[in-house]
Structure 1
């Protein structure tokens, strides 16, 4: 099974790292942590980024970062090297009850 994903990450050339975390400290003060390893970076799927582009671009600017697109391809196989495909699971009684409760809660 092959899967392709597109993510957004923030990169700081000054820190030579990807944004790993940030915390609002109140009063317009925040703390940002950077890591050189891409897999440690905060990631956002591309589609939600497009919906919030203006706000996220401003956040990146405040943090001194540039916005990067990361395209990742995953090849998933079983341990014996054979192909893996997701299978559709049958709906269980538990799923039906949960759906009914969700419907009634609305």
Structure 2
């Protein structure tokens, strides 16, 4: 099974290292940490970035970084090499499926006897 994702990372314009984290140290002061390993880089989903585009661009500019889009494709396999199957998410509440909950509500409302 293949999965594709889009992420945003910040890369320092001078060193090429990727931003791991940053901390505000007070007025106009901050501390930032970088890594050469992109797997350890701080990332934000492309969707979240789009919602905060203006703020993210200002943050990158402040730290001397460029904004990069990472397009990753993952091949999910079992240890024996077989492709992993997609697992459908079942919506549950207290261990009961949504369909079961609606059925119980219908019974309580007497809808199971409707039309008799």
TM-score category (smaller protein): 0.7 to 0.9
Long gaps (5+) in structure 1: 97-106
In 2, Cα distance between the equivalents of 1:64 and 1:83? 42
SS in 1 for 2:42: coil
In 2, Cα distance between the equivalents of 1:90 and 1:71? 28
How many equivalent pairs are there? 96
Please give the root-mean-square deviation of Cα atoms over the aligned residues, in Å.
1.6
Look at both structures and tell me which one has the larger radius of gyration over its CA atoms. Answer: 2
Match of 2:2 in 1: 2
For residues 42-53 of structure 1, the aligned pairs below 5 Å read 42-53=42-53
Q: Following TM superposition, where does structure 1 have runs of at least 4 consecutive aligned residues deviating by more than 6 angstroms?
A: none
In 2, Cα distance between the equivalents of 1:34 and 1:69? 17
1:15-60 deviation line (CA, Å, top 9, x unaligned): 3300011001111211011111101110001011011111100000
How does the TM-score come out when normalised to structure 1?
0.82
In 1, Cα distance between the equivalents of 2:9 and 2:56? 10
How does the TM-score come out when normalised to structure 2?
0.75
